[in-house]
Amino acid sequence: MDAHTDKQAEQDRIKDVYRRWHGGAALDRYAWHRPEILQQVAARSRAFAALLSETVGGDLSGLRVLDVGCGTGGFLRQLIDWGADPAKLTGTELQQDRLDHARHFTAGGVSWRLGTLDTMGLHGFDLVTTQTVFSSILDAELRRELAAQMWRTLRPGGWVLVFDFRYDNPRNRNVRKVTRAELDAFWPGERSRYRSLLLAPPIHRLLARAPWMVSDILTAVAPPLRSHFMYMVQKGG
């Protein structure tokens, strides 16, 4: 099997996993109204806000943003709420139904692209983001290719932002952790930020009926129990 065939097989596997997962019973554990999900969303928003304000600044209105694997557009809607201009935002996605959802529920002006990043010729972005995409790619070479494509779309001085898993999930062989060493090898940037966050979901679900303070304290005092990370790196001028 040649490299092109390997790459296509991995992309097809990823599409199939998301197609089977999206809309299935497993989504019930991630329903927006569940207490632990509400808490995780709040923690993630705080972390995003802190990192973005430290790097690209508090005024997002002039920022050109590319969200790779945008799903149903939730992160881009968050940026719009924080003042980003929809006309300067682009989201890419492999699944047509998710892209249709994003277009329907997001302010007009956002550019939505179906397909893989290497076919789109995009460039000049101030911020290129991706969330739980690298952990969905099991093939190491395809991970490196995506990282290089993201770097090429970024202008000098711009930032990459990644949110993903710190650990493997023994119950899900379609997910593989992303390490700090791997991230640093992908993008030899001038400055970087790394922050772990979110109590591991199995523990968080057990504590769902406890006061929020319990989960917050455990997350703060036990870093090894944090299941996710955020990473930002700046491209040199």
**CA separation for the pair 180, 23 (Å, rounded):** 32
The mean per-residue pLDDT over the stretch 105-113 comes to: 97
Nearest-5° Cα angle at 157, 234 to 147: 50
Instruction: Encode pLDDT of 143-183 as tens digits.
Output: 999 999 999 999 999 999 999 999 998 888 899 999 999 99
CATH code, domain with 99 = 3.40.50.150
Comparing 6-10, 170-174, 196-200, which segment has the lowest mean pLDDT? 6-10
Q: Is the pLDDT of residue 227 over 70?
A: yes
Please name the amino acid found at residue 19.
R
What's the domain range around 61? 3-234
pLDDT of residue 189: 83
**Count of Cβ atoms closer than 10 Å to residue 103 Cβ:** 14
Is residue 55 within 8 A of residue 232, CB to CB? The reply is yes
| Cα 36 from Cα 29, distance rounded (Å) | 10
Residue pair 66/128 in contact by the 8 Å Cβ criterion: yes
Tally of domains in the chain:
1
> What does DSSP say about strands 154-165 and 89-93: parallel, antiparallel, or unpaired?
unpaired
Taking only the tens place, the pLDDT of each residue in 37-89 is 788 889 999 999 999 999 999 999 999 999 999 999 999 999 999 999 999 99
Tokens of 39: 């808490």
